[in-house]
Amino acid sequence: MQYRYRTPGGTPGGYQAWTARSTTVVPPTASVVAAIVSAQVGSAVAKYMFAALGPSATVSLRTAFAALVLLLVWRPHLRGRSRADLLAALALGVTLAGLSLSFYAALERIPLGVAMTLEFAGPLGIALVGSRRRLDFLWGVLAVAGILVLSPIGGTVDPLGAALALLGGAFWGAYILLSARIGRTIPGGGGLTLAMAVTAIVTLPFGIAAGERVAADPRLLLAALGVGLLSSVVPLSLELEALRHIPVQVFGVLMSLEPAIAALVGLVLLGEVLGLREIAAIALVVTASVDATKTADHGPGNRA
């Protein structure tokens, strides 16, 4: 089970020299945890930008910088690609746009840890639907219980924020299915890079609309570059390297900790103090995800 939408699988050819050195310094499990922390810190920094730009323009600028860096690193070629591959990259890019826009819009209304937990329903649902083990039914019940505790029915979070986070989860689930397809046909990070370029184009109107605000404070461009690096480029690099050295099952277990790490980052960087109800809900979802990942049947070549 591979949850993170940043990772399409494969080994980055442009990073081979760097990864050869990094493996002697950073254990692969630490790389995965560092990737999670980097992504969540990026989300926290992005949330600070909302006051000046709003969520949609923040997505646009962050994605533009991330796409530019990835294009420089991976340099994917369009020549020789089949129409099916290009359509898959297009669909993946549109899905990434929907994922980013809905998640950032949710972040404007609800805490980071809560938003990530609700969004995690997407990849966890994909994993459980594909499982044939009876025990996974229990993990599904636990996850649903945690999500219901955080839902508007429980009255603990903003209803629109919760709905946007769940919508992001649906996009995340779609991303997993699409990235599995593109990861088999486009090596390394080339497929994700093409998709990120599409996302940058789709969200470009939001960035253009914020042009006057950016011109008034050029430091926003530097902040957007930082968010792009923290949220996409750094996690992608760390995860691709880690996946060369640890089983996908171990990777999935580590990624299952993401809602809890998001809550911790939200507390430290954003001052988002969660109540016992929210903490219990996050614990339920994390427990369900970890145990579902442990019992998942991973075959060879199962990296999305």
pLDDT at position 272, please? 96
pLDDT at position 143, please? 87
| Non-local CB neighbours of 8 within 8 Å, separated by 6+ positions | 179, 182, 183, 189, 191, 192, 304
Give the model confidence (pLDDT) of 16-65 as tens digits: 333 344 444 678 899 999 999 999 999 999 999 999 999 999 999 999 99
Cα 25 to Cα 15: distance, rounded to the nearest angstrom: 15
Residue spans per domain, the chain: 13-295
Residue 184 or 109, more confident: 109
pLDDT at position 24, please? 46
Which candidate, 174, 10, 6, 185, places its Cα nearest to that of 84?
Answer: 185
156, two tokens: 């603990």
pLDDT at position 302, please? 35
pLDDT at position 252, please? 82
What is each CA distance from 236 to 55, 137, 233, 239, in whole angstroms? 22, 31, 5, 5
Cα 241 to Cα 28: distance, rounded to the nearest angstrom: 7
Do residues 34 and 268 lie in contact, with contact meaning Cβ atoms separated by under 8 Å?
A: no
Which candidate, 66, 299, 70, places its Cα nearest to that of 186?
Answer: 70
Mean pLDDT of 227-237: 92
pLDDT at position 17, please? 34
